[in-house]
Amino acid sequence: RQVLPVPIRAGLHTGEVELRGDDVGGIAVHIGARVAAAADAGEVLVSRTVKDLVAGSGIAFTDRGTHTFKGVPDEWQLYAVTN
């Protein structure tokens, strides 16, 4: 059996979504996609919203700075999950 290295990256954000039939949409979905696109291979990035919601969980984060996303207002502080 051959194992191929596949670089995986993920991004997490949480917020209200709009139900569109069998799909979801809205700004929270858009932000989540942008956060994922900002992640490096092997990295999980989260928005400040997610980081604040899991405070006290023992999950550790590294600050990855502020980012601006096309089609999204304001700047977004992102954090990499480190454990």
The CATH number of the domain where 74 resides is what? 3.30.70.1230
Distance CA 6, CA 41 (A): 9
- Here the tokens at position 28 are 């929270």
pLDDT of residue 3: 79
User: What's the predicted TM-score (pTM) here?
Assistant: 0.88
Residue 1 lies in a domain: no
Domain extent for 32:
10-81
How far, CA to CA in Å, does 9 sit from each of 6, 18, 23, 35, 74?
10, 25, 22, 10, 24
Distance CA 56, CA 60 (A): 10
pLDDT of residue 83: 84
Domain count, the chain: 1
Distance CA 25, CA 56 (A): 30
Residue 37 lies in a domain: yes
Q: What tens-digit pLDDT sequence spans the chain (83 residues)?
A: 787 788 899 999 999 999 999 999 999 999 999 999 999 999 999 999 999 999 999 999 999 999 999 989 999 999 999 98
Residue 4 lies in a domain: no
Distance CA 54, CA 2 (A): 37
Residue 41 lies in a domain: yes
